[in-house]
Structure 1
Amino acid sequence: MKRIGFLSFGHWTDSPHSATRSGRDVLQQSIDLAVAAEEVGVDGAYFRVHHFANQLASPFPLLAAIGARTQRIEIGTGVIDMRYENPLYMLETAGAADLISNGRLQLGISRGSPEQVIDGWRYFGYEPAEGETDADMGRRHAEVFLQLLDGKGFAEPNPNPMFPNPPGLLRLEPHPEGLRDRIWWGSSSNATAVWAAKLGMNLQSSTLKANETNEALHIQQAKQIKAYRAAWAEAGHAREPRVSVLRSIFPLMNDTDRAYFGRSKSSDQVGFIDNMEAVFGRTYAAEPDVLAKELAEDQAIAEADTILLAVPNQLGVDYNVHLLESMLKHVAPALGWR
């Protein structure tokens, strides 16, 4: 069995060919898509976070709105760039979204990805400490966030407060119990996957990864996941970790599908991103029986418990529901995921 969710980058463009012409369109359609996805049996609604771009950015108002409109589906991110985040304020906003959704938040965080602007985190008021890189700063923000999620008091109370205080040091409120176990780290390398395991975070692996062995993406990811699980076991955490992989998968069910994606089948590509040599995963697009055979050979999918499907959000809610439903009804059962 696999959990199956979708991941939306939340693109919009002022084009007559786009169903999302504005930020308002994307936000409102994202809520509608999550509601419809829950109705057809999808397990998770996840959203990418990018700054300074015509894409989704601040995730917590959206996740809270989805949480209020749904009952079962997991809601999450993939991923929040921690270089931009104040961990204390983030705890309050994430905690609110988690409580509104009755504990369904699955929060993907990371060091971030290449940006639209130079050192965009500086505009948000953050600077690496002396001797730090921006990636170090992002990981430091993540570690502070994790410590806050433990729920221990840390702030000295005012002896003359506006409202009575409980005894001892104070924590941020309201506190989201259990969210600490639902934090994921988006990792592009084996080393950061091991680091995430030691800190007790779940693992998200995307459609690109640092090219560490010159093998296919799915093989490198499978090795990454195994290294992560070994580090998790060595750390002695009490619970079982969760692992997700992202894939672009399009069942070709009709002429519209074939027009959009019939020529999308590709192979892995190697290139450079953010001064890192990376392997970029292929797109899967075929009739359901062919897809099932191809996906059965994906070693990383075999290792993961959760599959996130990248959705083309600019094609609109109805079409994306069609893609998700096709996956659930015609591909997942053949693979034993349903």
Structure 2
Amino acid sequence: MKKIGFLSFGHWSDAPYSQTRSASDALLQAIELAVAAEELGADGAYFRVHHFAQQHSSPFPLLAAIGARTSRIEIGTGVIDMRYENPLYTAEDAGAADLIAGRRLQLGISRGSPEQVVDGWRYFGFEPREGTTDADMAREHTETLLATLEGEGFARPHPRPMFPNPPGLLRVEPHSEGLRERIWWGSGSDATAQWAARLGMNLQSSTLKDDESGEPLHVQQRKQIEAYREAWRAAGHQRSPRVSVSRSIFPIVSDLDDMYFGDAGDSEDKVGYLDANTRAVFGRSYAGEPDVLVKRLAEDEAIAAADTLLLTVPNQLGVDYNAHILESVLTHVAPELGWR
């Protein structure tokens, strides 16, 4: 059994045939797709965060709105770029969204990805400490966020406060009990997966990662998951961790499916560079008739190793079509593979 959800980048544009022509379209349709996914029996609605782009960028209003419209489905991110985040403000926003959703938030965070602008985090008021990198800064922000979510007081109360304080040091509010255990780290390498395990974060592995062995993506991800779980055991955590992988999966069960994705069935992993020094492997898309998909997906070692599968959706094709994709996977593929 696996949890199956969707992951949306929330693109919008006024290109021909786009169903999401504005930011308003992208946000409102994201809420409607989450509602539809819950009705179909999916387990999660997750959203990517990119700054300075015509995509989702401020997740907490969206997560709170979905939380108010749904009752069961997990609501999350995959991922928030922690280089841009004030960790105390993030803790407040996340706590509020989690309480609105009835403690269903699954918060994916990370160092982030290649950006639309040069050093965009500087415009948000953040600079790495001297002698450190922006990746170091993201991990420092993350460790502060995790400590804040523990809920322990750390701020000295004012001797003449506007409102009465409880005794002792103060914490940021609202605090949502249990959210600390629902933080995920989006990892692009084996080393950062092991770091996440030591800190007690769940693991998100995307459709790309650092190419550390030249093997297919799914093999490298399976080894990454194994390294993560070994580091988790070594750290002595008392709970079981969760692991997700993302995939583009398109069952072809109609002429419209064939028109959109019929040519994607023969795709393969691709290798490229995220920056001048980082060679990465990008995962293939899976498209085909359900029986063909079942055979191909059964060979994906990372999906087999993970407990959660996030389906990347082409959100600009509209709510109805994306709900159709989810229903097709849940109905025609998942039962045959023992995921349902």
Question: Per-residue deviation at 1:174?
Answer: 1.4
Name 1:97's counterpart in structure 2: 97
Matches within 5 A, 1:175-190: 175-190=175-190
Name 1:161's counterpart in structure 2: 161
In structure 2, give the amino acid aligned to 1:300.
Answer: A
Is residue 2:11 matched to residue 1:11?
A: yes
Deviations along 1:123-170, whole A, 9 cap, x unmatched?
000000011100000010000000001101000001111111111000
Deviations along 1:248-270, whole A, 9 cap, x unmatched?
00000000000000001201111
Name 1:88's counterpart in structure 2: 88
CA contact (8 A) 1:53 1:116 kept: yes
Partner Cα separation in structure 2 for residue 311 and residue 150 of structure 1: 34
In structure 2, give the amino acid aligned to 1:307.
Answer: L
Matches within 5 A, 1:285-324: 285-324=287-326
Partner Cα separation in structure 1 for residue 88 and residue 187 of structure 2: 23
Name 1:273's counterpart in structure 2: 274
Matches within 5 A, 1:114-133: 114-133=114-133
Structure 1 stretches of at least 4 aligned residues deviating more than 3 Å after TM superposition: none
Partner Cα separation in structure 2 for residue 63 and residue 87 of structure 1: 18
Provide the TM-score with structure 1 as the length reference.
Answer: 0.99
Partner Cα separation in structure 2 for residue 73 and residue 274 of structure 1: 36
Name 2:40's counterpart in structure 1: 40
Partner Cα separation in structure 2 for residue 333 and residue 14 of structure 1: 38
Matches within 5 A, 1:50-89: 50-89=50-89
In structure 2, give the amino acid aligned to 1:195.
Answer: W
List runs of 5+ in structure 1 lacking aligned partners.
none
Provide the TM-score with structure 2 as the length reference.
Answer: 0.99
The share of aligned pairs that are identical, in percent, is 74
Question: Per-residue deviation at 1:15?
Answer: 1.9
Name 2:339's counterpart in structure 1: 337
Question: Per-residue deviation at 1:16?
Answer: 3.0
List runs of 5+ in structure 2 lacking aligned partners.
none
Q: Note the aligned Cα RMSD (angstroms).
A: 0.5
CA contact (8 A) 1:113 1:274 kept: no
Deviations along 1:43-78, whole A, 9 cap, x unmatched?
000000000000000000000000000000000000
Partner Cα separation in structure 2 for residue 268 and residue 56 of structure 1: 26
Name 2:113's counterpart in structure 1: 113
Partner Cα separation in structure 2 for residue 126 and residue 146 of structure 1: 19
Q: Secondary structure of 2:107's match?
A: strand
Question: Per-residue deviation at 1:329?
Answer: 0.5
Question: Per-residue deviation at 1:25?
Answer: 0.2
Question: Per-residue deviation at 1:274?
Answer: 2.4
